[in-house]
Amino acid sequence: MTMFGSNLVLYEEEFDRINAVLARLWMDANAKIVFLVDKNGQQIAAKGDLDKVDATSLASLTAGNVAATDGLAKLIGEKEFSILFHEGERDNIHISIVGQRLILVLIFDERSSLGLVRLRVRKAAAELEEVLTQMASKAADQGEAPASPFAEITDDDIDALFTE
């Protein structure tokens, strides 16, 4: 994966590590759902009661929310607001920025607390940043990314996608 380069590419090893961090955070923070999204709104990994939410929309709206808040921060001369918190009647959403590029989202109810969530998120964010750094150095070591699986894509492949 290139850190700020063109495409975000995720491989098995890092994916497994990320999933392990999210699973632990989900347990430790007593959360309902834990979610990792990139700043463009693509969901990377998730853990928890996912049947009850529309994960894709959640990812996109979270990224929109963070982008708007980033815009607000810049307007008043801040670099970013690294934590956003939305409090609801039942459920709450805690959003934090990880490694400038990823967004960690946690949904929790009264079985947890903001204090606990903040504590656990801080630890998980540090671990996720470590994974990111490892991915970046790996990408740098390898130089060029491996050949794209789409290298031999044909017009027919593409047409086939739209034959509904």
* Binder among 27, 52, 64, 78 for another protein (CB under 8 A): 64
- For position 138 contacting another protein by CB under 8 A, the verdict is no
Separation of alpha carbons 102 and 155, rounded Å: 34
19 phi/psi in degrees, rounded to 5: -60, -40
- For position 3 contacting another protein by CB under 8 A, the verdict is no
Q: Which of residues 24-63 bind another protein (CB under 8 A)?
A: 38-42, 44, 54, 56-57, 60-61
- For position 100 contacting another protein by CB under 8 A, the verdict is no
What count of other Cβ atoms lies within 10 Å of the Cβ of residue 22? 25
Separation of alpha carbons 48 and 153, rounded Å: 36
* Binder among 27, 68, 126, 140 for another protein (CB under 8 A): 68
Greatest Cα pair distance in the chain: 54
- For position 104 contacting another protein by CB under 8 A, the verdict is no
Contact call for residues 32 and 19 (beta carbons, < 8 A)? no
The binding site for another protein (CB under 8 A) comprises: 6-12, 15-16, 38-42, 44, 54, 56-57, 60-61, 64, 67-68, 70-71, 145, 148-153, 155, 157-158, 160-162, 164
